[in-house]
């Protein structure tokens, strides 16, 4: 058999196996650097697993290309355990007559090992960030977070915020539930996030003129950003709902007239949170603690 690893574009990165099987694979172009998407070689386990984002096992004539009929191929997609993004494929292939019932479980085990290794490397990076920030944290009083560039929390003191916050950006106010208004401070390979010393409020002004505009003021830091009409509508609804917030079902009813659009609602709120840095809290959806919004329907956008 061959054990094969391909990336998210279907490019074979690495393979290992018996020399006799490798030689047979060479005649198919099943080698490092080759692209094995469905667009390139038709139905095959790697390309179909990428297209379906699901495990695939093909035997003999189930392959599109006749040259692949003497083969079996079993492929499992590998996802980033942090984000869910598709990273690539682990595939086991060999002569069709040698297919064993355990091959599928073997490919699944490879997938689990790969994803566990990605998560382990992630935890090791957070631990290095935590250790490098330790001297600064020792001299810091009050609540503080240390996070990486993607918002994953390496250290939390004074408040529990979960495993991740919105990704910080330089000189941009950040609303962290439980912290209020914060300005991230750059660290090597990460950020120190602390509440403003002169207040914990983030002030928002939502301009609902022809092009929705959101103005944000947190302490001495302020910025403004054009947002979509849908995001403006969500912010206005959450503003009217107050601290009680709204469930995904309630937002779906308000936005679309029924409760059958939960996936769309969750996707829109997720995009809004990525754009605005955690100003919207979840469970239920609501404006985060310390965030105060005013709505100006006739204000200018200047």
Residue 136: inside a domain, yes or no?
A: no
Residue 193: inside a domain, yes or no?
A: yes
| Residue 265 and residue 154 in one domain | yes
| Residue 150 and residue 28 in one domain | no
Q: Which tokens is 281 given?
A: 């809290």
Q: Residue 249's domain is classified under what CATH number? A: 1.10.10.10
Residue 180: inside a domain, yes or no?
A: yes
Residue 133: inside a domain, yes or no?
A: no
pLDDT at position 199: 46
What percent of the chain is predicted at pLDDT more than 90? Answer: 48
CA 110, 111, 114, 115 torsion: positive or negative? negative
Model confidence band, residue 280 (pLDDT cutoffs 50, 70, 90): confident
| Residue 175 and residue 290 in one domain | yes
pLDDT at position 302: 34
pLDDT at position 301: 37
Residue 291: inside a domain, yes or no?
A: yes
| Residue 151 and residue 300 in one domain | yes
Strands (E), the chain: 2-7, 12-17, 56-59, 71-79, 86-95, 144-147, 153-157, 174-176, 180-187, 190-195, 202-207, 213-218, 221-226, 280-281, 286-287, 291-296
pLDDT single digits (tens) 96-109: 888 898 999 999 99
Q: Which tokens is 222 given?
A: 């302020």
| Residue 96 and residue 152 in one domain | no
8 Å CB contact between 201 and 218: yes
| Residue 247 and residue 110 in one domain | no
| Residue 56 and residue 200 in one domain | no
| Residue 265 and residue 175 in one domain | yes
| Residue 107 and residue 174 in one domain | no
Write down the pTM of the prediction.
0.60
Residue 139: inside a domain, yes or no?
A: no
| Residue 302 and residue 153 in one domain | yes
Q: Residue 7's domain is classified under what CATH number? A: 3.30.450.40
Report whether pLDDT(166) > 70.
yes
**Domain count along the chain:** 2
Q: Which domain holds residue 42?
A: 2-120
């Amino acid at each position: 058999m061959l054990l094969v690893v391909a990336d998210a574009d279907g490019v074979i990165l690495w393979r290992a196996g018996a020399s006799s099987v490798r030689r047979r694979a060479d005649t198919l172009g099943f080698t490092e650097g080759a692209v094995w998407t469905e667009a390139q070689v038709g139905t095959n386990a790697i390309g179909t697993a990428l297209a379906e984002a699901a495990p695939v096992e093909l035997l003999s004539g189930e392959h599109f290309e006749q040259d692949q009929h003497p083969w079996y191929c079993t492929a499992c997609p590998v996802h980033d355990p942090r984000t869910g993004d598709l990273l690539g494929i682990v595939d086991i292939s060999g002569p069709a007559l040698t297919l064993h019932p355990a091959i599928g479980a073997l490919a699944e085990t490879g997938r689990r090992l790969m994803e566990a290794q990605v998560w382990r490397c992630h935890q090791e990076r957070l631990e290095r960030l935590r250790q490098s920030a330790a001297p600064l944290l020792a001299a810091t009083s009050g609540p503080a977070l240390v996070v990486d560039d993607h918002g994953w929390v390496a250290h939390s003191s004074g408040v529990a915020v979960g495993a991740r916050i919105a990704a910080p950006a330089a000189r941009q106010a950040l609303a962290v539930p439980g912290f209020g208004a914060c300005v991230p401070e750059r660290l090597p390979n990460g950020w120190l996030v602390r509440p403003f010393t002169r207040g914990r409020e983030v002030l928002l002004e939502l301009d609902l003129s022809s092009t929705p505009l959101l103005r944000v003021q947190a302490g001495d830091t302020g910025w403004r950003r054009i947002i979509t009409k849908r995001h403006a509508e969500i912010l206005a609804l959450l503003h009217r709902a107050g601290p009680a917030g709204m469930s995904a079902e309630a937002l779906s009813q308000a936005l679309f007239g029924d409760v059958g659009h939960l996936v769309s609602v969750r996707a829109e709120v997720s995009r809004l949170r990525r754009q605005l840095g955690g100003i919207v809290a979840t469970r239920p959806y609501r404006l985060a603690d310390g965030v105060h919004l005013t709505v100006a329907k006739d204000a200018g956008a200047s």
